[in-house]
Amino acid sequence: MKTYNLESTISHNLQRNITYRKSTIADAEQIVKWRNQENIYKWFINRRTITLQEHINWFNNNVLNEKVIQFIFSADEKDIGVFSFGELNYIDKNCEYEIYIGEQDFFGKGIGTLVTKSALKIAFNELNMHKVYLRVYSENIGAVKAYRNSGFTVEGVLKEQVFINNKYFDIIMMSVINEV
């Protein structure tokens, strides 16, 4: 059983105290409420709302089984979002990163960048990953910027990968490699 620093304060120059911790089943309702907002799930590859029961099943099958490591992050002790590592591959040492801020008042304040930088430290220093990658819609300008700010670079573009309302959208693959 791997252990991680479960709770930590992210050092930063924002006027807020940003912390993170591992999610638990007690966060289920909050997570479902956040991720069922249209401006959140529209950016997911799987663009749909979920029920509380679906989330609980997913949590039991993935988080409790250690297929996904999921964290809640907070600003001044208010929970505001989720980041996670999935597709954990301890042989090739890579994983897929996801993040969303569920509380919209906290968008565009540098928190996504800050949390992502901290997440990379967890992935490299604690999970011993060599590479962290992600998928993002090319239209999601703010997310791409936050990822670039955090050190991600573009690996390639999956052209016209997703079909929504009679239109195809590109997905950008981004990654960071731990050079040490």
Residues in touch with ligand COA (CB under 6 A): 40, 43, 99-101, 107-113, 136, 140-143, 145-146, 149
User: Which residues, 6+ apart, have CB-to-CB distance to 113 below 8 Å?
Assistant: 146, 149, 150
CB of 107 to ligand COA, least distance (A): 4
Q: Which is nearer to ligand COA, 62 or 113 (CB)?
A: 113
DSSP SS3 for 57: helix
Q: CB-wise, 15 or 65, nearer to ligand COA?
A: 15
Q: Closest approach of Cβ 136 to ligand COA, in Å?
A: 4
131 beta partners: 94, 177
Extract the tokens encoding 77.
């002790």
Between 14 and 64, whose beta carbon lies closer to ligand COA?
A: 14
Residues 6+ apart with CB under 8 A from 61: 67
Exposure on the CB side of residue 145, measured as CA atoms within 13 A: 9
Q: Which residue is nearest to ligand COA (CB)?
A: 112
Closest separation in Å from C-beta 1 to ligand COA: 30
Report d(CA 91, CA 121) in Å as an integer.
19
The residue (of 128 and 142) whose beta carbon lies closer to ligand COA is 142
